């Protein structure tokens, strides 16, 4: 079915963007990028550029959505009209509605929902530029935004996809591989607790390939997790390093 003229991996096992099968795209993470949000984060994952903001816990609006025994997490995943080749209508598509739901469900296991009954946390994700794997990058950024808002968490949630391209299982598919490849398996993961909080797949994989893809995606997650922790700490380390250097010089 997927015999497209384009070869996505050459004979040496190098992909179109020069990566090997198990390589991640370059990732840049920044925390606390929006002053109005309680917490925020920005991610560049390959050519993906995504902003996430968290508000709350705060009173739920409308009020009837509040739950007496737990906090409510709401997520909105949204793509900017200019984020893709052909302009996307700003009205939420069915895909965006589904992704908002699965992103929310990937973050919920990380929260202590029972701690703050009757309140809500809102997470807004804006995809400014999309290049394959936006849901994963969105989760990685959203988890940072929630942590930055000071909402207690079991662990950071980090996400990464693996998939099958030209009969090879590869990590972190970019746009073309996603569209022309044989399968895509996005995984969200809480590394400290060894818990998978999002798992989707489309395409066809044998059970063995599927397992391999999940394992590979988890490995990718662990690498990004380190960057996530670093990004969160950096905000405070910067001040600290400068100060401590000053003190040494004195």
Partner 1 sequence: MPTYFEKKQLVTPGELLAEGDYLPGENTYVEENKIYAQRIGLVDADNKRINMVALRAFYVPKVGDTVIGTITEVGFNGWTVDIKSPYNAMLRASDVLSRPFKPQNDELSTVLNTGDLIVAKIVSYDRAHDPQLTVGEPGLGKITRGQILNVMPTKIPRVIGRNGSMISMIKQETNCQIILGLNGMVLVTGKTVEDEERAINVIKKIEQESHISGLTDRITQLLKENKVNVEEP
Partner 2 sequence: MSSLITKVRLKQISQCIESGKRLDERGLHDYRQIKIEQGVIEKAEGSARIYLGKTEVLVGVKVETGEPFPDTPNEGVQTVNAELVPLASPNFEPGPPDENSIELARIVDRGIRESHAIDTEKLCIEAGKKVFVVFVDVYVLNYDGNLIDASALAAMAALMNTKMPNYEVKDGELKTKQGFIKLPMKSHPITVTIGKINNQLIIDPQLEEEQVMDSRISIAVNEKGNICAVQKGGSGYFTPQQILEASKLAQGKAAELRKKLDW
If the CB atoms of residues 125 and 231 are measured against partner 1, the closer one turns out to be 231
Q: Which of 97, 237, 238, 242 binds partner 2 (CB under 8 A)?
A: 97
Residue of the chain from 44, 122, 131, 148 that contacts partner 1 (CB under 8 A): 148
Number of C-beta neighbours around residue 49 at 10 A: 20
Q: Is there a contact between 168 and 125 (Cβ–Cβ < 8 Å)?
A: no
Contact window for partner 2 (CB under 8 A) among 31-39, 107-115, 126-134, 221-229:
107-115
Read off φ and ψ for residue 242, nearest 5 degrees.
-60, -45
Instruction: Find which of partner 1, partner 2, none residue 147 binds, CB within 5 to 8 Å per kind.
Output: partner 1
Question: Residue 7's binding partner, choosing from partner 1, partner 2, none, with beta-carbon cut-off 5 to 8 A by kind?
Answer: none
Q: What is the DSSP letter of 18?
A: S
Report d(CA 107, CA 118) in Å as an integer: 19
Residue pair 120/38 in contact (Cβ under 8 Å)? The answer is no
Minimum distance from CB of 112 to partner 2 (Å)? 12
Q: Which of 57, 133, 163, 220 touches partner 1 (CB under 8 A)? A: 57
Instruction: Give, as one character, the DSSP assignment of residue 65.
Output: G
Q: Which residues of 116-143 are buried (b: 16+ CB within 10 A; e: fewer)?
A: beebbbbbbbbbebbbbbbbbbbbbbbb
Residue 190 as a binder of partner 1 (CB under 8 A): the answer is: yes
Q: Is 119 in the site for partner 2 (CB under 8 A)?
A: no
Q: Which helix (H) or strand (E) holds 107?
A: helix 94-107
One character per residue 157-186, x = contact with partner 1 (rule: CB under 8 A): ------------------------------
Place of tokens 């040496």: 12
Where in 197-226 is the site for partner 1 (CB under 8 A)? none
- For binding to partner 2 (CB under 8 A), which residues are involved? 1, 67, 94-95, 97-98, 100-102, 104-105, 108-109, 113, 185, 190, 193-207, 210-211, 214-215, 218
């Amino acid at each position: 079915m997927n015999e497209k003229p384009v070869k996505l991996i050459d004979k040496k096992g190098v992909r179109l963007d020069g990566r090997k099968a198990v390589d991640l795209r370059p990732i840049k993470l920044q925390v606390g990028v929006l002053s109005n949000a309680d917490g925020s984060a920005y991610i560049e994952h390959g050519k993906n550029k995504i902003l996430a903001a968290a508000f709350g816990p705060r009173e739920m609006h409308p009020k009837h959505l509040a739950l007496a025994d737990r906090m409510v997490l709401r997520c909105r995943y949204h793509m900017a009209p200019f984020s893709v080749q052909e302009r996307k209508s700003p009205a939420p598509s069915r895909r965006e509605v589904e992704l908002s739901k699965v992103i929310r469900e990937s973050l919920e296991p990380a929260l202590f929902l029972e701690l703050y009954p009757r309140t809500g946390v809102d997470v807004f994700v804006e995809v400014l530029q999309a290049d394959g794997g936006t849901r994963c990058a969105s989760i990685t950024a959203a988890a940072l935004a929630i942590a930055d808002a000071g909402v207690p968490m079991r662990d950071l949630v980090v996400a990464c996809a693996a998939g099958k391209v030209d009969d090879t299982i590869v990590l972190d598919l970019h746009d073309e591989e996603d569209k022309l490849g044989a399968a895509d398996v996005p995984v969200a993961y809480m590394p400290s607790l060894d818990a998978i909080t999002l798992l989707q797949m489309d395409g066809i994989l044998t059970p063995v390939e599927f397992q391999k893809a999940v394992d590979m995606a988890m490995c990718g997650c662990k690498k990004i997790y380190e960057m996530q922790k670093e990004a969160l700490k950096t905000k405070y380390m910067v001040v600290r390093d400068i100060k401590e250097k000053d003190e040494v010089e004195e």
